[in-house]
Structure 1
């Protein structure tokens, strides 16, 4: 019964998030503040300096959440930066199954090396994912296999309690800004 409730809740969240698709995409001051905080946290990691310097674009997701109990889901909204400018909103949804229990909050960044990978991201696509993850409050260990040689993904756990070994499907959707490109 609990698995059914979780699955029904997951479907409801995914359907409700689809409503976001039809509203005009704007980049507000509040969103800019959360993105700047996330970028500052990622830029503080020395090993990411090369990625920031070499990437043709990157997408930052300041707040992403995942929850599971056998079946699970993750959701997050972020912003795509091309040439230092915000060009649109990105939405990530993920469904997974496996040995997992708990909830986790994290931020994520995707670096794109070339135009082909960026174009594929903008078109929206499904990716097969596999995860091994252990999170306890703010200390964590996680490993995510690379899913494409032209895209690098890094995440920073913000908190939660999650134990997970799972497989699933992940989708990214891109929505260009309504009007002009924003220069942060």
Structure 2
């Protein structure tokens, strides 16, 4: 019987993990779970970052994805579910999907928040399908470090690592689906 070469087995296992992560990872949450996780994520982010706290108060709207999971071995994928707020009021739920390609390996979990500076930017997000291109830069929040968020077309992105290890450089984008509360 032939043995499987490690150069083949490792990429196959990583690809399987990425597919598993994207297909079922965060879709198991109920709306109550997502709301509770979003509140916890907001508290975590605002605890040590007063300038981000101001964005929650002053933005037209924001989307919080409290549990985004990403895995990659050359091809990467990420997935998460979140809540969307307009003027501080919950207006719906959103799902995040990401695919990227590049020199990358590993897996991680993180919080992602998208701030909408203008009503037009929030309305584009609420229109149904929305995409962030790979050239949108996200501010990475680290303990004790405060940074300003860069807005492009009225949209600013903040991420905070939760767990995992990942290394690499990649190019890709994120796609979002919005579902309003009825």
Q: Paired residue for 1:182?
A: none
Pair 1:148-2:152 in alignment? yes
Pair 1:33-2:36 in alignment? yes
Q: Paired residue for 2:82?
A: 78
Q: Is the Cα contact below 8 Å between 2:34 and 2:83 reproduced in 1? A: no
Higher strand share: 1
Q: Paired residue for 2:132?
A: 127
Deviations 1:25-71 (A, max 9, x none): x732x333211111111222112133123200111111111111111
Q: Paired residue for 1:158?
A: 162
Q: Which runs of 5+ in 2 are unaligned?
A: 1-7
Q: Is the Cα contact below 8 Å between 1:3 and 1:71 reproduced in 2? A: no
Local SS of the residue matching 1:129 = coil
Q: Paired residue for 1:51?
A: 55
Q: Is the Cα contact below 8 Å between 1:59 and 1:80 reproduced in 2? A: yes
Q: How far, CA to CA, are the matches of 2:120 and 2:137 in structure 1?
A: 28
Deviation, 1:127, is: 2.8
Q: CA RMSD in A?
A: 3.2
Q: Paired residue for 1:23?
A: none
Q: Paired residue for 2:4?
A: none
Q: How many residues align?
A: 164
TM-score (norm 1): 0.75
Q: How far, CA to CA, are the matches of 2:70 and 2:150 in structure 1?
A: 19
Deviation, 1:129, is: 1.3
Q: How far, CA to CA, are the matches of 2:35 and 2:75 in structure 1?
A: 33
TM-score (norm 2): 0.75
Q: Is the Cα contact below 8 Å between 1:64 and 1:74 reproduced in 2? A: yes
Q: Which runs of 5+ in 1 are unaligned?
A: 21-25, 180-184
Q: Is the Cα contact below 8 Å between 1:108 and 1:154 reproduced in 2? A: yes
